[in-house]
Amino acid sequence: MKLKVDHVTRYHYDHPVRGVVQSHRLIPSRFTGQRVQKWDVTVSGGIKGGGFRDGGGDWVQAWSVPGPVSEISVRVQGIVETKDLAGVLQRHREVIPPVAWLRPTAPTRVDAALADLGHSVSADDTLALAHALSGAVADAIAYRPGATHAHTTAAEALALGEGVCQDHAHALIACARVRDLPARYVSGYLFASEDDTPHEAAHAWAEIWVEGLGWVGFDPSNRCCPDERYIRLGAGADAREAAPIRGIARGNGLESLDVTVAVDAVQQ
């Protein structure tokens, strides 16, 4: 499948700031399941800095925008050819050992309810257990756009009983850790949901380490494993670490954000 992405993030400051520095994870991952045909990232008024491939195998690129500046646009445009690998991350080069992804973070911290949810399922093998945990999270947290915010934790979303893809991913990571399974947060894009209805194009899911198989993706929001409709950008311990764009502005201007993402299928 060929997917075309047009992703624009606009930052507006009510008072001009002296400058902005950003770190991007906006380059699609390199693995068997996807191949970039063309990809371009532009930053209005930006100066491209150094880049590196981190221990998780993701490309991190630095940008700076000298001030004074009151508005910045980051635009991503490209085409990626994808194929369905049943969620398995094949031939993705990384050097961080899986055990490193057992560390807790604030958004994925386990409370009593998450521990109970993690122990509520059983299975004969690790892969079946991972599937069962993903299903348990989907059952416990209804998908409801706007129900939570960027700083909602897995425990808070479970207590509320509803949330978005970020909450599903955080909760699944927490439940996997309860069962001593390394897990991580993945950011990317999604063409359509399981029933082919429109979905939030900027998407997130989780990957769980299955011994003998490797990293396997699970998307509780759509009750499936990532397939040819998904584009993987990068991973981290939680949403903050895996964020496509992170940055800091020098100045007292109040920042507002507007994001538009379109993912379309390209005629084969």
- Both 206 and 125 in one domain: the answer is yes
Q: Which of 226, 117, 103, 239 is nearest to 170 (CA)?
A: 239
- Both 105 and 227 in one domain: the answer is yes
With 0-12 CB in 10 A as exposed, 13-18 as middle and 19+ as buried, what is 125?
exposed
Give pLDDT < 70 ranges for the chain.
Answer: 193-200, 268
Per residue in 91-147, pLDDT (tens digit) is 999 999 999 999 999 999 999 999 999 999 999 999 999 999 999 999 999 999 999
What CATH number does residue 255 fall under?
A: 2.60.40.2250
- Both 116 and 190 in one domain: the answer is yes
**For position 198, what pLDDT does the model report?**
47
- Both 178 and 99 in one domain: the answer is yes
- Both 193 and 254 in one domain: the answer is no
- Both 104 and 226 in one domain: the answer is yes
Give the structural domain span for 187. 84-236
Task: Give strand pairing partners of 90.
Answer: none
- Both 33 and 54 in one domain: the answer is yes
- Both 95 and 142 in one domain: the answer is yes
Per residue in 185-200, pLDDT (tens digit) is 999 999 975 555 545 6
- Both 147 and 223 in one domain: the answer is yes
What is the DSSP code (8-state) at residue 33?
A: T
**For position 70, what pLDDT does the model report?**
96
What CATH number does residue 155 fall under?
A: 3.10.620.30
Domain count, the chain: 2
d(CA 116, CA 93): 34
- Both 175 and 255 in one domain: the answer is no
Q: Which two tokens stand for residue 96?
A: 């961080």
- Both 160 and 40 in one domain: the answer is no
Question: Side chain identity at 168, as an amino acid letter?
Answer: H
- Both 62 and 145 in one domain: the answer is no
H or E stretch covering 249:
strand 245-250
* pTM for the model: 0.95
